[in-house]
Amino acid sequence: MSLLIKNALLVDGAGEHGRGDVLINNGKIASLSGGEAATTIDGSGFVLTPALFDPHSHLRSPGQEVKEDLRSGLLAAAKGGYAAVVAMPNTEPAIQRPEDVRGLYQQASRLDGARLLLAAALTEEQQGRRLTPAGLLRQAGAVLLSDDGRSNDDAGVLARGLLYAAAASLTVAVHAEDTSLRGEGLMNDGALSAQLGIPGNPAEAEAARIARDLEVLRWAVRKAAPLGHQVRLYVQHVSSKRGAELIEMAHADKLPVYAEVTPHHLTLTAENWRSFDPVFKVAPPLREPEDVDALLRALESGVISSIGSDHAPHTRAEKERDLQNAPFGIPNIEVAFPLLFSELVDKRGFPLAKLIARMSDGPREALGMKEIRLRVGEVADLMLFDPGASRSVDPATFLSKARYSPWQGWRLKGWPLLTLLAGKEVWRDAALA
């Protein structure tokens, strides 16, 4: 099946390339200057980019399908412009055995939507004690190891995990919070948490654990060097100015650390907690405006090279519990790109090519994968979006099972109109003729 997308503005992580006529044939980009095709789409006024890559999503399978399942999650991701999503292993039971990985891939092969990639647990049951078999998990298709949802408190276990992961050419992702400093904190620790009477989770809890994990990484790099193994540490959902500063210092020391920020930590702040609405309850918590500004600077400079959705769906009933008992997490995979296009590119002048890079190239690099470009011969994992038309966020239209949103009612631009996976249409908006 061949497809021609005519007169679209071409943008990838390397920059803007003017308007082109992109011919797709046999799942790959065959030409940037047109040609004969069975189907033609007029891309005038639209932007064509590589489809997005989400390194951090919670699809809740197995065991938590009441919140989300592979079908709903992968369809929602495709609607959001994603070609691939990495599902986290904090499920019931945890994804920790090679047969777990193979079984989920088999299920996903029968489903429409984005491509499923799997993170496996770093330790058994994500308890932080006994390591899982990194090499066998890699052979089964795992692309990442992580105990996400829990912090790796034992530095020795994390250190050995980094070495074994490196031997299997896998990256280790960490949820960096010092649990003893975090305590029972629900929102950012500061003047507002004291005023509202809500337990605070300090930015120092994140910074202290990032600092420790970077020293563990330094040790692992030294130990792995004689073996020729490449250690990679991926710090998930950095939320604070100090956290970003520590990553920048590590880069100056040439440590192989990659960092991620989420859409909610870039667009929401602790001030949202004045509503006392659990929809804003997330870990790590929403921080102060100065943290958001620091994260944006780090994102633009490349200190933070990835945007991960941390899509964390729960049932509406769970999120409508009281603040103490409602679960942490924000669903966002369908709105992440239009949200960031509107708030960063349209309002703040953030370069579009850099946004695409942070939502595609950066995550792939962190996992040891090659970048995606708009060039002949590349796999046609593509997103076409409208940079001009705006519409309101309406959770009732979500394909995810989590039909609520902290951005409900926000008017956003940049909604994906078409998502292609190896040339196959996995999402088409009704607005696309």
Specify the DSSP class assigned to residue 56: E
CA distance 214 to 144: 18
Confidence at residue 1, expressed as pLDDT on a 0 to 100 scale:
77
CA distance 305 to 259: 6
Confidence at residue 357, expressed as pLDDT on a 0 to 100 scale:
98
pTM over 0.95: yes
Confidence at residue 349, expressed as pLDDT on a 0 to 100 scale:
98
Confidence at residue 411, expressed as pLDDT on a 0 to 100 scale:
98
Instruction: Kindly give the pairing relationship between strand 39-42 and strand 115-120.
Output: unpaired
Under DSSP, is residue 424 helix (H, G, I), strand (E, B) or coil?
strand
Residues in the chain where the model's pLDDT stays below 50: none
310: number of Cβ within 10 Å: 30
Confidence at residue 433, expressed as pLDDT on a 0 to 100 scale:
72
Please choose, from the candidates 18, 20, 45, the residue with its C-alpha nearest in 3D space to the C-alpha of residue 30. 20
CA distance 367 to 182: 28
Place of tokens 């960031």: 340
Contact status, residue 176 vs residue 150, Cβ threshold 8 Å? no
Confidence at residue 109, expressed as pLDDT on a 0 to 100 scale:
98
Confidence at residue 21, expressed as pLDDT on a 0 to 100 scale:
98
For the chain, what are the domain ranges? 50-374
CATH architecture of 50-374: Alpha-Beta Barrel (3.20)
Among candidate residues 100, 178, 310, 386, the one labeled active-site is: 310
Contact status, residue 214 vs residue 295, Cβ threshold 8 Å? no
Residues 215-268: pLDDT tens digits?
Answer: 999 999 999 999 999 999 999 999 999 999 999 999 999 999 999 999 999 999
Q: For residue 120, list its beta bridge partners.
A: 145
Confidence at residue 26, expressed as pLDDT on a 0 to 100 scale:
96
Cis peptide preceding 93, ω within 30 of 0:
yes
Q: Is 429 a catalytic residue?
A: no
Question: Token digits for 73?
Answer: 């999650």
Most distant CA pair in the chain, distance: 65
Q: With b meaning 16 or more CB within 10 Å and e meaning fewer, what string describes 397-425?
A: ebbbbbbbbbbeebebbbbbbbbbbebee
Quote the distance between the C-alpha of residue 295 and its chain's center: 15
Burial of 371 (0-12, 13-18, 19+ CB in 10 A): middle
